[in-house]
Structure 1
Amino acid sequence: MSRAVSPVLNSAHEAAEDLDVFLGDPRNPEGPFSYRAMVEAEERNENPAGTLEAMREFGFEKFLVPEELGGRLHALDELFFICRTLSRRNLTVAVRYGSALLGANPVWLWGRDEQKKEVAQAILDGSLTCFGVSEADHGSDLRACEAHADKEGDDYLLTAEKWPVGNATRGRFVTTFAKTSAAGFSLLLVDKEALDPASWSTLPFVKTVGLRGHDLSGVSFEGSRLPQSAVLGREGTGLVQVLKALQITRTAISALSVGTMDATLRIALQYSRERNLYGSCIYNLPVIREHLVNGHIDLMISECVAVPVTKALSIAPDRMSLWSSVVKYFVPVMAEKTVASMAVVLGARSYLREGVADGVFQKLQRDHAIASIFEGTTHVNLHTIADQLPYVLKHGVGVAAQAAAEQDAERAETLARLFSLTDAAPRWEPRGMDLQLTNEGLDEITHGWDAAVQQVEKLAQDVASDTAVHAIAAILRDIDRVRARHHADIAGAQDRDGRSAQALTEAERHCVFHAMASCLYTWLTNRDTRGAAFADGGWLLLCLQRLAQQIRLPAELSEEHLPAVEEHMFTCLEEGETFSLLSLARPE
Structure 2
Amino acid sequence: MTTATATATPADLLDTALGDPWDAANPVGFTGILAADEQQEMFAEGERRLDAFRLNAEFVPARHGGRLTRVDRLAAVLRTLWRRDPCLGLGYGFSSFIASVNLWSAGDAEQQRTAAGLLLDNRKIASVYHELAHGNDFAHAEFSARPAEGGGWVLNGTKEVVTNFRRADALVVFARTDDARGSRSHSQFFVRKEGLPEGSLTHLERFPSSGMRGVQLGGGRFTDCPVPADALLGAPGRGIETALKSFQLTRSVIPSMCVGPLDTALRAAVSFALERRLYGGTAADLPYVRTVLARAFADLLAVDAFTTVVVRALQVLPEETAVLASASKYLASRMLLDTLEELRTVLGAQSYLREGPYGIFQKMARDVAPATFGHASRSACLVTVLPQLPRLARRSWFTSPAAPAALFDLDGDLPELDLDRLAAGSPRSDGLAATLVALAEECRGPGPVGRLAARFRDELAVLREECLALAPRDITIDASPHAHAVAGRYTVVLAAAAVLGVWWHGRRGPRPELHDDAALVAALDRLDRRLPGRAVLTPAERADVERQLFDQAVARFGQRRLFDLTARHVPG
When normalised by structure 2's length, the TM-score is: 0.93
Residue number in structure 1 paired with 2:453: 476
Give the SS at the match of 1:165: strand
Residue number in structure 1 paired with 2:131: 135
Deviation per residue, 1:293-322 (Å, 9 max, x gap): 101010100111011111122222221110
Work out whether residues 293 and 550 of structure 2, in 8 Å CA contact, stay in contact via their aligned partners in 1.
Answer: no
Residue number in structure 1 paired with 2:260: 259
In the alignment, the residues of structure 2 paired with residue 561 and residue 66 of structure 1 have an alpha-carbon distance, to the nearest angstrom, of: 43
Matched, 1:443 2:427: no
Work out whether residues 398 and 434 of structure 2, in 8 Å CA contact, stay in contact via their aligned partners in 1.
Answer: no
Give the SS at the match of 2:566: helix
Deviation per residue, 1:360-385 (Å, 9 max, x gap): 22111111110221121110001111
Q: Give the counterpart of 1:169 among 166, 169, 176.
A: 166
In the alignment, the residues of structure 1 paired with residue 508 and residue 491 of structure 2 have an alpha-carbon distance, to the nearest angstrom, of: 27
Q: CA deviation at 1:484?
A: 2.4
In the alignment, the residues of structure 2 paired with residue 574 and residue 510 of structure 1 have an alpha-carbon distance, to the nearest angstrom, of: 37
Structure 2 counterpart of 1:504, one-letter code: H
Residue number in structure 1 paired with 2:108: 112
Matched, 1:300 2:301: yes
Structure 2 counterpart of 1:392, one-letter code: L
Matched, 1:583 2:560: no
Q: Give the counterpart of 2:96 among 84, 100, 117.
A: 100
Unaligned runs of 5+ in 2: none
Matched, 1:425 2:414: yes
Residue number in structure 1 paired with 2:522: 542
Q: CA deviation at 1:481?
A: 3.3
Matched, 1:67 2:62: yes
Q: Give the counterpart of 2:497 among 497, 517, 526.
A: 517
Residue number in structure 2 paired with 1:569: 553
In the alignment, the residues of structure 1 paired with residue 512 and residue 319 of structure 2 have an alpha-carbon distance, to the nearest angstrom, of: 35
Structure 2 counterpart of 1:417, one-letter code: A
Deviation per residue, 1:169-218 (Å, 9 max, x gap): 10111101112245621100010013123211211111000111111110
Deviation per residue, 1:488-528 (Å, 9 max, x gap): 22223344512221111001100110111111111111112
Work out whether residues 256 and 368 of structure 1, in 8 Å CA contact, stay in contact via their aligned partners in 2.
Answer: no
**How many residue pairs align between the two structures?**
555
In the alignment, the residues of structure 2 paired with residue 211 and residue 439 of structure 1 have an alpha-carbon distance, to the nearest angstrom, of: 34
Give the SS at the match of 1:68: helix
Q: CA deviation at 1:7?
A: 9.7
Work out whether residues 170 and 192 of structure 2, in 8 Å CA contact, stay in contact via their aligned partners in 1.
Answer: yes
Q: CA deviation at 1:536?
A: 4.5
Work out whether residues 393 and 441 of structure 1, in 8 Å CA contact, stay in contact via their aligned partners in 2.
Answer: no
Deviation per residue, 1:234-293 (Å, 9 max, x gap): 111111111221111111111342011101000000110000111111111011001101
Pairwise CA RMSD of aligned residues? 2.1
Residue number in structure 2 paired with 1:497: 474
Q: 1:397 to 1:133 in 2, by over 3 A?
A: closer
In the alignment, the residues of structure 2 paired with residue 280 and residue 7 of structure 1 have an alpha-carbon distance, to the nearest angstrom, of: 35
In the alignment, the residues of structure 2 paired with residue 536 and residue 48 of structure 1 have an alpha-carbon distance, to the nearest angstrom, of: 39
Residue number in structure 2 paired with 1:373: 373
Q: 1:492 to 1:133 in 2, by over 3 A?
A: same
In the alignment, the residues of structure 1 paired with residue 161 and residue 85 of structure 2 have an alpha-carbon distance, to the nearest angstrom, of: 21
Residue number in structure 1 paired with 2:175: 178
Unaligned runs of 5+ in 1: 1-5, 400-406, 461-468
Residue number in structure 2 paired with 1:3: none
In the alignment, the residues of structure 2 paired with residue 424 and residue 81 of structure 1 have an alpha-carbon distance, to the nearest angstrom, of: 15
Work out whether residues 266 and 573 of structure 1, in 8 Å CA contact, stay in contact via their aligned partners in 2.
Answer: yes
Work out whether residues 173 and 192 of structure 1, in 8 Å CA contact, stay in contact via their aligned partners in 2.
Answer: yes
Q: CA deviation at 1:388?
A: 1.0
Deviation per residue, 1:137-164 (Å, 9 max, x gap): 1112223221112212221111121111
In the alignment, the residues of structure 2 paired with residue 269 and residue 397 of structure 1 have an alpha-carbon distance, to the nearest angstrom, of: 41
Q: 1:32 to 1:247 in 2, by over 3 A?
A: farther
Q: CA deviation at 1:345?
A: 0.5
Residue number in structure 1 paired with 2:290: 289
In the alignment, the residues of structure 2 paired with residue 353 and residue 398 of structure 1 have an alpha-carbon distance, to the nearest angstrom, of: 51
Give the SS at the match of 2:302: helix
In the alignment, the residues of structure 2 paired with residue 99 and residue 32 of structure 1 have an alpha-carbon distance, to the nearest angstrom, of: 24
Give the SS at the match of 1:583: coil
